[in-house]
Amino acid sequence: MLLSALESVVLLLFTLVVVYRIRFRVARIMRKPTILFCLIFSIMFAFAVGVSTFNFGTLTRYKIPLMPFYALALVYAYQLSKSEQKPEVLEMTE
């Protein structure tokens, strides 16, 4: 259970970092069909599993199919937000 809790905390922290980075660029990032599909699939699957499962121990096993899609959406959104930042201009001093 400790490893499952650690995995969830790491995923939560990464989610917060990504949400903080894309807070003003959500509309641009949501136009990407890959991210949109991964997020919609993850949310629908998580909702269906959460509503239909009453045993909390099995939720850890049932979330395995959605984790790659959710992680892919986070990584892809993070990379897009990173690539959309303006590069810093270095001033040449003599």
Neighbours of 74 (CB within 10 A): 21
C-alpha–C-alpha distance, residues 53 and 62, integer Å = 9
- Whether residue 41 contacts residue 67, with contact meaning beta carbons closer than 8 Å, is answered with no
Contacts by 45-50 with C-beta closer than 8 Å and gap 24+?
Answer: 45/69
Q: What was the pLDDT predicted at 40?
A: 93
Neighbours of 4 (CB within 10 A): 13
Q: Tell me the pLDDT tens digit for each residue of 9-55.
A: 999 999 999 989 888 788 888 888 999 999 999 999 999 998 998 88
